[in-house]
Structure formats: structure tokens, C-alpha cells
Amino acid sequence: MIIRKSFKIEGSHIVRNCSTYRCSHSIHGHSGIVEVMLEADQLDKAGMVVDFGLLKGPVRDVIDSFDHAYSLWAKESKEYKEFIKKYSDRWIEMPCSPTAEFYAVMFYAIIKRIIERTAFNNGESPSIRVHSVRYHETDTGYAEAFESDYWNIWNRSYKIEDIIFSSE
């Protein structure tokens, strides 16, 4: 069975090297939605894959770090990174380009680690896993990451420890 929990964030970025000039040269924002799909082979004592309340802690907190924050690609120039960090209290420096595709696979990697390190105590299935993560950049477009994307895209080149969060 699969369950879904949705989170809303407002954020901004520049997507360097993309085909659209406007997106690659101008700061712009999105009302994003992060959908987390969890999967298990059996239900817990309450008849749930996992209590949604458990997702209100570390999973929500990580996603909320991106709310009203500027997503900064680590490969930006030193001067630009210094400018953003000086004039914005909320920013995240990411080891990957801040595209919908990378948001999806990055959130997948982070949430996978959280789920794997969570001590469940209500008879939850030992097979609880992240089925997929969708990042809706707009009302009409999203990217969805699966386990294979984690291994083929994220795990080959990136590490969660390379994500730097501002103190805010």
C-alpha cells in the first residue's frame, strides 16, 4: 500500500544552463508542493502504513527549510553566493542545480535517510520505504523521483552532507 503526504513551500532560484533565457538569468519563485509517497507491505497496529503525525517532525522540518528560501547552486560564482548569503536570511546551498528534477531526487534522498533512521514502535512494517517524491514546481508541472533515480542520479554524484542550510 502507498500513502501520500503533501507539503507546500514558497521558494526562489535561478536555473543556470537551462534552455529558457528568463529562467537561467533571473531570480524567480515558485509555489512548490512536495508530495511524499511511502510504501509498506503491511499495516501497523492502527491499520496504517505509518501515522501521518510522524511525518510532522523531521520530514516537515527539512522541507520547511526550503520555505521562503533562496536555493543556491554550489557552482555559482563566489561573488554571487556571497551576495545572496549577505542579503537573504534564508538560503540553501545545494550541490545540484535547483531544478524540479533535482529537488525531487534530493528530497527523496533526504527523506529516505530519515525513514531509514526512524525508530518505529507501533508494529509498522519493516519494509516501510519511500516509494517516490514529487516536486510540483507549478500547477501544471512536476518531477517525480524513485529509488532508481536515487541510485542513478543522486547517489553517484551528490551527498546529503553537501547541502548547506542558513541558520534561519
Give per-residue pLDDT as tens, 99-157: 999 999 999 999 999 999 999 999 999 999 999 999 999 999 999 999 999 999 999 99
Residue 102 Rama label (left phi>0; alpha psi -120 to 50; beta): alpha
Give per-residue pLDDT as tens, 68-113: 999 999 999 999 999 999 999 999 999 999 999 999 999 999 999 9
Catalytic residue among 35, 39, 68, 76: 68
Distance CA 83, CA 77 (A): 10
Cell numbers that stand for 72 in this block: 543556491
Asked if 137 is an active-site residue, the reply is yes
Catalytic residue among 93, 101, 124, 137: 137
Main-chain phi, psi angles of 101, to 5 degrees? -60, -45
Cell numbers that stand for 126 in this block: 519493516
**Cβ atoms < 10 Å from Cβ of 32:** 21
- Tell me the whole-structure pTM to 2 decimals: 0.95
Catalytic residue among 23, 35, 39, 76: 23
Residue type, 58: P
pLDDT for residue 33 = 98
Asked if 68 is an active-site residue, the reply is yes
Q: Are 105 and 49 in contact (CB under 8 A)?
A: no
**Cβ atoms < 10 Å from Cβ of 163:** 18
pLDDT band at 168 (very low <50, low <70, confident <90, very high): confident
